[in-house]
Structures are given as structure tokens and as C-alpha cells.
Structure 1
Amino acid sequence: MHTTLGPGGPAVSRLGLGCMSMTGSYGRTDPDEAAATVLEALESGVTMFDTGDFYGDGANEELLGRTLAPHRGRALLATKTGVRRTAEGLVPAGSPDDLRRACEASLRRLRTDHIDLYYLARIDPAVPVEESVGALVDLVDQGKVGRIGLSEVSAATLARAHAVHPISAVQTEYSLWERHVENDVLPAIRSIGATLVAYSPLGRGLLTGAVRATTRYEPGDFRATAPRYNGDDLASNLAVVDAITRVAAAKGATPARIALAWLLTRGSDVVPIPGSSRRPHLRDNLAALDLRLSATDLGDIDDAVPATGARGARYGDHGTALIDR
């Protein structure tokens, strides 16, 4: 199953592969298993592989680069920049000089001469978005970047950026319990014919049923610092997961398949990129492509999820401050 990336863009698989978890964002990782997962995804028809230069301080891009280099013509590489890691956390880095340096470093780590889809990961409040996008346009003109994307932007910022150069994709969190994008951003995306790339479509693992109230996150696990995955917020959200699990059981499916199949009903311009660093999880996610949800199923899902979605903020205070509004 394929769709098109932006207006007149290349064909991409209906599900991509989010690679962030392959280098430690959710605890310990196995690089060999991660690489095997990438290759199995490729052989299973996945064409979009999503990374970022700040995932594992470049280690994520390096893993993808050495794994996919022999198969470069079959893979659409999407990476992100525009932030840098400090002792205090990520900070914006969206100046033209920042973006040019970042692109050169990503090209080296990815072992390629061009990036198919290059995202501005966050908007730098100190740099007009027109300047940041203009720098990306220069990279397009030089043949180093194919298409430009944005991540976590408001509808107004998207319009300003698109006035400088066509935006092919917007990446943001979107799942059956995180639907903020439907208010303003998704209509804006559709007005320009871009693609919505949905990250965390499985609620950072919670919608799979793998996390319980007794779960203790490993050192380095992002979820340990995010309100939604802790305390009373987590308890409330686990009740939603239990309800989705019951819907899945009635369909003879896993909760992950239900969550992804639901997203696939939102339109052919929505491409979920579930993250997985293990082959069994990848296989379960890909099985969602064959799961058909009836009107009754969709109604049961709506009944299981509160209209307000998940309880609690997606990020801690520092991460929330980086999101464009």
C-alpha cells in the first residue's frame, strides 16, 4: 500500500518506520536487532525511514546510514534538524548557518549525497521561519535535499513557511488519543496538499498495552519525564488502553493494530510512522495494513476514548516550550 508524499511527490508506503527508539530514547537497545528490523521493514515494503540528527546525538543517523547504504535507491530517508542538545536539554538552532552545518553532518552519517525529506524539527523563536526555510531551499537548489518538511508547527507558521517554498510534509504527534492536530493544523496541511506524518501513533508504547502502573522506566527513557506517562495521568490513560484492548480482543487483533488501523482511516494523506526496534513489533504493526475497521468498530473506538484524549501533557515543561503555537 502506497500514497504520495506531498503534491507531485514520490510514492511512499502507507506506514513508515520511526527509528528514534533504536538508539536509546526508551531505554536499552540492541543495535544488531535494530538493523535487522530496518532491513525486514525494507523487505516488507516499508519505504520511509524517519530519524533525526539529535536522536542519540547522531548515532541514529549512523545506524540507518550503514544499514541502508547498500539499498539506498529503495529507501526514502527523512531526517530532522533545527535543535541541538545541551546539558539542559534540546534548544532551538534554526539559523541558516546552523542548518547548513547540520545538513553536511547528516549527509556524512547517513552515507548519502542527498536527504529525501528534510524537516525543520522545531521553530527557532530567534529566527524568522522564512529565514530557516530559505536556508533549506538553498540546500534543495544544491541537490542536497529533495523535499522540505516541518515538525510541530502551528497553522500560521505553516502558511508562512509554505509561502517561501512548498512544504511537502508536516510531522506531529497524532493518534486515536492525541488529536490536537485535527483542530487547525490538519486542515492547513490539506489546504496546501501536504502529507501529515504521524509520529507516536502508538502513544509511545502505551497504546500497545505494554506499560502498566507497575512499570518502571529504564534510565534514559523519555517517558519518565513526561506527565502523561506517570502518576494519576498514567492511571487515567491506562483505563483508556484497557478499553482499546477490549475492542482489539473482539476483533481478534492487538491494541497496536487497532490504533494504527484507526489512523489509516483518517485519510491517504496521513502516514503513521510507528517506532520499533524489534522485528516482532514491526510485524505486528505491519499487520494493521490488513485490518479493516467497520463503522461499528470505529464507533466502539470513539466510545472507548474520551473526547479530550489522553490525560496529561505530552512533554515536560522544557519540551512543551519548544512547540510552536
Structure 2
Amino acid sequence: MTATTTFQIGGDLRVRRLGFGAMHLPAAPEPDRANALAVARRAVELGVTLIDTAYLYGWGANEELLAEALHPYPADLLLTTKVGVARPKGEGVLDGRPETLRAQVDAALGRLRTERIELLQLHRVDPEIPLADQVGALRELRTAGKIARIGLSEVTVAQLAEARTITDIASVQNRYNLLDREHEPVLAACEKARIAFLPWRPVAWGAAGVRAEIAAVAADADATPTQVALAWLLGHSPVICPIPGTASLDHLAENMAADALRLTPDQRDRLDWLREED
């Protein structure tokens, strides 16, 4: 892997920038489970070194699925998970209380069959709890050796700045793609601080495939619209680490070929002006 296809999360943990989001892998009975296990294993075979999951994804079932598929983990694999959402009455609610975060990290360690989570992200900022308390709890977990690096998800520039006064932040996971660039200021802040930016919904749920300009660039590049959308992300900023998800082996192979696609300056110019509302 070259410097253009890798990034050092937290300044020391090198990963392939094009990762895999496990959210769409179902923890269902056979045959769906066998396919989900196969997709996770194939992702690693294709060179993925960054896999994203969360307690919210099946309320721990997604984490258990990944452990079944991949444990013992390859030495170069970063398996990152998220905490901060609970379901006290069956429905998901934000819960950033320090005691909840501590309990969810302990449970995740068990499900993932590991003694330390190399990157632990706060799934959402709970507006009812001071951010300092939420980030402070994660800092304490890092001091205790249960997590190694701390990330945030769906944060503003101000929240990121506040969190960084409390502890080092290694990653930010906000919604972002070719057509939806609401969080461009957050990306800019991450780029300035060399913080990994993990865009979720990196291909706009397939919307890229129906946009005439994107389809035209894909035809010119002998690629698919999804590959064009991912290649655009990779070229847009060196800190972007997309995590496209799928439960299809074919789509997985399509996605993972995107970091070999080099868009020309003209092709990038044709894409840069696009937005969701256009």
C-alpha cells in the first residue's frame, strides 16, 4: 500500500483508507448469516484493514458476527466500534452517561473477544450530558487500557474543538459524500489537525448512480458510478477514509476496486460542483 492509499489514524496506526462498514451485515439465521460471514472474511482478503461496527448495529449482534468471522484478528486489522446509544425500552435513545459508556465498552470487549478496542467512537453526542463528561469517560477508559484511541461521530466544528481540549481525538465519523457536503467545515477541521474523517453514507445510498453527470464520468473512466463516488472522496482530502458497506460479495469487490481509480482533473472538475439539490 502506498501513502496515497493509507492513513495513520491517531498518527501511529496505519490503515488502508478504503475500509468497510459492517452495518449492513445481517446477524440472521442461515443462509443470510453464512453470507454475512463470507463478506466480512472476503473484505479482509481484499485488503481491508479498517472495519467499522457499533453496538447499535443489532444491539451487539454485529460485533459478535465480526468476531465469529475474523477472530483471531489479523495483526493489521483495525476493528472500530461505537457506543453511546441504548435501548432501555426497546427503542434506541442517546445515552452518554459515563456509567453507560463504561458498561457498553466492557460489553463490547467481550463480544469482540479482545482486551482493548483500538479505536472507540462516541456514536452521537448526548445533548443531555455535558460533552466533557462523555469525552472524559472515554479518556478514563483509555487510561485504564480498555481503548487505545478516541473518535466522535456526527459532531460540529465546535464540538470537535471542545473535545480536543479534553483529550486527543483520532477520528470523526460524519455523514458525507459527493452529493451531501453539509459537514465540509468539519472535514476541513479534521484535515488541519490530521484527524481521520470516516464518512458514513459515502455513496448517498445509490443516488450517485442516477445522476447524469456522475454516470457520464463513470462511462468515461470505464468504472461504475459507485466507484466514481468513492474515488472522488479519496481524492478530495487525504484524511478521508470511506467505509462503504454491503452484504453482497459482488458489490464488495466493486467497492474495493475504487482506490485504484484515478479521476482526471477534468473529471473531478465535472463532479466538484455537484450537490444533492442540483
State the distance in 2 between where 1:77 and 1:159 align.
25
State the distance in 2 between where 1:246 and 1:8 align.
38
Percent identity, please. Answer: 41
**C-alpha deviations, 1:153-175, integer Å up to 9, x for none?**
01111111111110000001111
Q: Does structure 1 residue 310 correspond to structure 2 residue 270?
A: no
Say whether the 8 Å CA contact 2:10–2:169 is kept in structure 1.
no
Aligned to 1:191: 192
Aligned to 2:25: 22
Corresponding residue SS for 2:148: strand
Aligned to 1:274: 244
TM-score, L = length of structure 2: 0.92
Corresponding residue SS for 1:55: coil
Identify which range, 143-152 or 191-200, moves more after superposition.
191-200
State the distance in 2 between where 1:112 and 1:205 align.
35
How far off its partner does 1:88 sit?
7.7
Aligned to 1:12: 15
**C-alpha deviations, 1:228-271, integer Å up to 9, x for none?**
xxxxxxxxxx4xx2431222122211011100000011122110
Letter in 2 for 1:310: E
Q: Does structure 1 residue 263 correspond to structure 2 residue 266?
A: no
Give the 3 Å change call, closer, same or farther, for CA 252–86 of structure 1 in structure 2: farther
Q: For this pair of structures, how many residues does the alignment match?
A: 274
Aligned to 1:247: 217
**C-alpha deviations, 1:177-200, integer Å up to 9, x for none?**
011111x21222233321111111
Identify which range, 5-14 or 260-269, moves more after superposition.
5-14
Say whether the 8 Å CA contact 1:5–1:168 is kept in structure 2.
no
Give the 3 Å change call, closer, same or farther, for CA 29–146 of structure 1 in structure 2: farther
The match for 1:295 among 265, 268, 274 is 265
Aligned to 1:96: 98
How far off its partner does 1:23 sit?
2.3
Aligned to 1:146: 148
Give the 3 Å change call, closer, same or farther, for CA 112–88 of structure 1 in structure 2: closer
Higher RCO, Cα 8 Å, sep 6+: 1
Letter in 2 for 1:21: H
Say whether the 8 Å CA contact 1:16–1:273 is kept in structure 2.
yes
State the distance in 2 between where 1:193 and 1:250 align.
33
Corresponding residue SS for 1:79: strand
How far off its partner does 1:29 sit?
8.6
State the distance in 1 between where 2:196 and 2:261 align.
22
State the distance in 2 between where 1:159 and 1:263 align.
24
- Structure having the higher helix fraction is 1
Say whether the 8 Å CA contact 1:65–1:112 is kept in structure 2.
no
Aligned to 2:65: 63
State the distance in 1 between where 2:8 and 2:129 align.
27
TM-score, L = length of structure 1: 0.79
How far off its partner does 1:72 sit?
4.3
Give the 3 Å change call, closer, same or farther, for CA 72–85 of structure 1 in structure 2: farther
**C-alpha deviations, 1:15-70, integer Å up to 9, x for none?**
0100001127xxx9922112111111112211001000010111111101111112
What is the Cα-based RMSD across aligned positions, in Å? 2.1
State the distance in 2 between where 1:55 and 1:29 align.
19
State the distance in 1 between where 2:6 and 2:251 align.
23
Alignment of 1:21-170 (within 5 A): 21-23=24-26, 30-85=32-87, 89-170=91-172
- Structure 2, unaligned runs of 5 or more: none
